[in-house]
Amino acid sequence: MSAATNRATGAPGGRLAGVYRAKALPASRQRSLAGRYAWPFQFLALAAFAWAFLGWLNETWLFVGDNPIWLNRYTEYAIILGFGVWRITAEQNPYTKKRLIVLVSVVSVIWWLIPWLFPFFEPYVGYPGAQPAFPDLHRPGTISFFVVLAAVLLFGRRVICGWGCPCVGIRETVGFAFRHNTLRGPWAWRLRHSKWAFFALYLAAGALLMFPPNAWSASYLGIFGLIIVLPYFASMLLSPLIGNRGYCRYLCPYGATFGILNRVGFYHLDFDGDSCNDCGVCDQVCDMGIPVLGLGREKGRIDVADCMGCGRCVSECAHGSLAFHDVRSVLSPAVVRNRGRLRAWASGRLPTARPQAWAFAGMLALSLAASWWFSGAIGGENELPTLLSSASLCLAH
Ligand code: SF4
Ligand code: SF4
Ligand code: SF4
How far is residue 329's CA from residue 344's CA, in Å, rounded to a whole number? 18
Q: Does the pLDDT value for residue 5 go beyond 70?
A: no
pLDDT recorded at residue 12: 39
pLDDT recorded at residue 134: 59
Report the nearest-CA residue for atom 4 of ligand 3.
307
Residue 322, SS3 per DSSP: strand
Q: Is ligand 1 within 6 A of the CB of residue 161?
A: yes
Q: What is the mean pLDDT of the chain?
A: 86
Residue 286, SS3 per DSSP: coil
How far is residue 85's CA from residue 28's CA, in Å, rounded to a whole number? 12
pLDDT band for position 299 (50/70/90)? Answer: very high
113 phi/psi in degrees, rounded to 5: -60, -45
pLDDT recorded at residue 26: 81
pLDDT recorded at residue 98: 96
Residues with C-beta less than 6 Å from any ligand 3 atom: 285-286, 288, 290, 292, 302, 307-313
Residues 6+ apart with CB under 8 A from 298: 9, 11
Please provide the DSSP assignment of 88-139 as one string: HHHB--HHHHHHHHHHHHHIIIIIIIHHHHS--PPPBSS---SS--TT-TTS
Q: Is ligand 2 within 6 A of the CB of residue 269?
A: no
Max avg pLDDT among 21-35, 80-94, 208-222, 358-372 = 80-94
Per-residue pLDDT reduced to its tens digit, 88-144: 999 999 999 999 999 999 999 988 988 888 877 777 777 766 555 555 677 777 778
Candidate from 171-180, 324-333, 387-396 with smallest mean pLDDT: 387-396
Q: Does the pLDDT value for residue 29 go beyond 90?
A: no
Per-residue pLDDT reduced to its tens digit, 13-25: 444 444 444 567 7
Which residues are paired to 270 by β-bridges?
Answer: 301, 323
pLDDT recorded at residue 375: 77
Section 317-324 average pLDDT = 98
Q: Containing domain of residue 213, as a range?
A: 1-397
* Closest ligand 2 atom number to CA of residue 281: 3
Q: Is ligand 2 within 6 A of the CB of residue 270?
A: no
Q: Does the pLDDT value for residue 329 go beyond 80?
A: yes
Distance 311 CA to ligand 3 centre (A): 6
Q: Does the pLDDT value for residue 8 go beyond 70?
A: no
Q: Is ligand 2 within 6 A of the CB of residue 246?
A: no
Distance 168 CA to ligand 1 centre (A): 6
> Which ligand sits closest to the CA of 307?
3
Report the nearest-CA residue for atom 8 of ligand 2.
279
Residues 6+ apart with CB under 8 A from 119: 132, 134, 375, 380
pLDDT recorded at residue 373: 82
Q: Structural domain tally of the chain?
A: 1
Q: Does the pLDDT value for residue 381 go beyond 70?
A: no
* Closest ligand 2 atom number to CA of residue 320: 2
Q: Taking the CB of residue 394, how many other CB atoms lie within 10 A of it?
A: 8
Q: Taking the CB of residue 50, how many other CB atoms lie within 10 A of it?
A: 13
Q: What pTM value is reported for the model?
A: 0.89
Per-residue pLDDT reduced to its tens digit, 232-291: 999 999 999 999 999 999 999 999 999 999 999 999 999 999 999 999 999 999 999 999
pLDDT recorded at residue 378: 62
> Which ligand sits closest to the CA of 166?
1
